[in-house]
Chain A
Amino acid sequence: MLEGKFESASLMKRLVEAIKDSVKLCNFNCSQTKGITLQAIDDSRVLLISLKLDPGCFEGFRCDKNLVLGLDLESLSKVLKQGNNEDYLTLIAEDAPDNLLVVFEDPKKDRISEFSLKLMDIDSDVLSIEDMDHDCSITLPSSDFAKVARDMRTLSESLQILVTKDSVKFMASGPIGTGSVIIKAHTDLKDGKESIKIDLNKSVNVTFGAKYLNDIVKASTLAETVTIKLTNKIPALFEFKLQGGYLRYYLAPKFDE
């Protein structure tokens, strides 16, 4: 039996909203030691989502037997919208489940809502992702990155990112003209989360599809900062750290034909 209780429904609500436009059907893998993990690839095979929710992400977590919960994220989103952000959220499944039970309790315990969601058999590709060495790593406020990705998409369907020792330059060039945004490394002593950190082994010049970057920045509601790891000509890693877990996106680059 699986019983995972979140202190508040808002984490799961934000997670599903962040990924449901990229992937529709997902297998949630549940185990006592690893908690809940998920790997899903978008239909175009360009963007991969990797989620880890350690047992420590939960107020209570129990999973007697490893389980795979095949879920339609559109349906899960509909059910999660029925709960309030500050409700407790508990996910419950039997050992060979046909359904996932989703329970919301308001903190005053005078209202309990229960939903049963049908599970699906989902046959999906799983890719093995080894730890990669990257040419550079950038950590910046997730809202800053979201603004650049959204703004620059209005100019071009591609976003070029150039990283040097102390700055990151985002460039877009399209039918109406060109634009660039330069972000410089700095340390904010008052609020560390506002700092911009660049670790560089080698300068990087990579280009990504703006549409995918706009999907990725939907996760900026989950973490105040995002870490972007880039290497020339290989997929980039975008990581949003969660309390006791992470949401990672791997994005394949664009290149000159």
Chain B
Amino acid sequence: KMKQATLLSFFTRS
């Protein structure tokens, strides 16, 4: 089963 990553793990809030 694959898990969906979110963008928040890669990019920071500015």
Residues of chain A whose beta carbon lies under 8 Å from any beta carbon of chain B: 41, 44-48, 125-129, 158, 207, 209, 234-235, 250, 252-257
Q: How far is the CA of A235 from the CA of B4 in the complex (A)?
A: 11
B7 and A127: CB pair below 8 A?
Answer: yes
A257 and B1: CB pair below 8 A?
Answer: yes
Q: How far is the CA of A207 from the CA of B1 in the complex (A)?
A: 12
Across the interface, which residues of B come within 8 angstroms of A234, CB to CB? 10
Q: Which of B1-14 contact A (CB under 8 A)?
A: 1-14
Query: Which among A45, A128, A207, A257 has the greatest number of chain B C-beta atoms within 10 A?
Result: A45
Instruction: Please report the number of residue pairs spanning A and B whose Cβ atoms sit closer than 8 angstroms.
Output: 56
Q: How far is the CA of A255 from the CA of B10 in the complex (A)?
A: 14
A126 and B13: CB pair below 8 A?
Answer: yes
Across the interface, which residues of B come within 8 angstroms of A126, CB to CB? 13-14
A253 and B7: CB pair below 8 A?
Answer: no
B6 and A46: CB pair below 8 A?
Answer: yes
Known A-B contacts A127-B13, A127-B14; A256 and B2 likewise in contact (beta carbons under 8 Å): yes
A254 and B2: CB pair below 8 A?
Answer: yes
Across the interface, which residues of B come within 8 angstroms of A46, CB to CB? 4-7
Known A-B contacts A45-B7, A252-B7; A207 and B2 likewise in contact (beta carbons under 8 Å): yes
Least CB distance, B7 to chain A, in whole angstroms:
5
Across the interface, which residues of B come within 8 angstroms of A207, CB to CB? 2
